[in-house]
């Protein structure tokens, strides 16, 4: 399979490493932001798409009133399994579901939430149309996507380090997919193509990504994402070397002890 067809391969040990390393490194601050935006709308029923290992789900379960129903979905069953293993403060409904073909009735949710999932949709206008279909009139799609990789410093260093290992055939999962959908004009066009007629609000928000060592973000990005599969396809024994090279590159830029890098994303809200 080509690299682009394996970008959604969150399988094997990836979900556990993703939850242990990536969630605290880059996802928790944005989860707090997006849940705050959703909570302000006082929804009675919320659908989460591409819930991953459940960082937003858990926060919604502890923030929204008990009367608010939460349905959390992901395309990848191994990610759902990890989310269920970690658990939620109160019961939520977990469903495996494809964003291109949601198994829910028209107008059945007050809000649809997507934390860093839209970049993976093979047909974004179709996914947005599905989100719009399941929203009630006046309901909102609230989601975020990463800004360009140059504004996400650890990811940039990992990408450059891995490129250096495979200069003739560099693994480009990070800039291609998670950091490849950052142009706001394209986001707006895709929302219009998906049937949204109200203007989208787009806020660009930066946080700091902090870790106790350079090796921590190296493990997170190299071993906790589909970049792992790209590396192993090129060199079956190359994963440890890629982690070492990435840790060295991050340490060169940010130091040998605690590291602190910029992360940046767009947060989008649009009403049906």
Residue 132 lies in domain: 3-148+173-209+264-271
Please check whether residue 243 lies inside any domain of the structure.
no
Query: Half-sphere exposure of residue 69, counting CA atoms within 13 Å on the CB side?
Result: 9
Kindly give the confidence (pLDDT) of every residue in the chain, 272 residues in length, as a single tens digit, with 9 standing for 90 and above. Answer: 445 555 556 757 789 999 999 999 999 999 999 999 999 999 999 999 999 999 999 999 999 999 999 999 999 999 999 999 999 999 999 999 999 999 999 999 999 999 999 999 999 999 999 999 999 999 999 999 999 999 999 999 999 999 999 999 999 999 999 999 999 999 999 999 999 999 999 999 999 999 999 999 999 999 999 999 999 999 999 999 999 999 999 999 999 899 999 999 999 999 99
Q: Residue 3 and residue 9: Cα distance in Å, rounded?
A: 10
| Pairing mode, strands 69-74 and 45-49 | parallel
Ramachandran sector of residue 173 (left: φ over 0; alpha: ψ -120 to 50; beta: rest): alpha
Look at residue 102 and tell me if it is in a domain: yes
Any idea what the CATH number is for the domain that residue 182 is in?
A: 3.40.50.150
The dihedral region occupied by 196, where left means phi > 0, alpha psi between -120 and 50, and beta the remainder, is beta
The domain total for the chain is 1
Query: CB-based contacts of 186: which residues, under 8 Å, 6+ apart?
Result: none
> d(Cα 63, Cα 244) in Å, to the nearest integer?
39
pTM of the model: 0.94
Give a yes or no: residue 257 inside a domain. Answer: no
How many angstroms separate the CA atoms of 144 and 265, rounded? 7
Separation CA 166–CA 169 (nearest Å): 5
The answer to the question of residue 214 being in a domain is no
């Amino acid at each position: 399979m080509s690299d682009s067809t394996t970008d959604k391969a969150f399988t094997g040990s990836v979900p556990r490493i993703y939850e242990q390393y990536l969630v605290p490194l880059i996802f928790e601050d944005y989860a707090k932001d997006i849940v705050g935006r959703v909570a302000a709308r006082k929804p009675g029923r919320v659908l989460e798409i591409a819930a991953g290992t459940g960082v937003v789900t858990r926060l919604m379960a502890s923030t929204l009133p008990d009367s608010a129903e939460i349905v959390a979905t992901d395309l990848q069953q191994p990610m759902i399994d990890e989310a269920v293993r970690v658990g939620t403060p109160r019961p939520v409904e977990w469903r495996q579901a494809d964003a291109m073909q949601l198994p829910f009735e028209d107008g059945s949710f007050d809000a649809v939430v997507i934390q860093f999932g839209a970049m993976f949709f093979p047909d974004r206008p179709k996914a947005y149309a599905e989100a719009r279909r399941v929203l009630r009139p006046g309901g909102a799609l609230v989601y975020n996507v990463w800004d360009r990789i140059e504004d996400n410093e650890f990811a940039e260093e990992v990408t450059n380090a891995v490129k250096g290992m495979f200069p003739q055939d560099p693994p480009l999962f990070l800039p291609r997919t998670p950091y490849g959908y950052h142009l706001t004009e394209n986001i707006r066009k895709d929302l219009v193509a998906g049937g949204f007629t109200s203007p989208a609000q787009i806020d660009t928000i930066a946080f700091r990504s902090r870790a106790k060592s350079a090796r921590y973000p190296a493990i997170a990005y190299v071993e906790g994402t589909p970049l792992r599969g790209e590396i192993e396809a090129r060199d079956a024994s190359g994963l440890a070397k890629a982690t070492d090279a990435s840790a060295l590159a991050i340490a060169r830029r940010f130091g040998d002890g605690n590291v602190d890098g910029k992360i940046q994303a767009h947060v989008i809200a649009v009403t049906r």
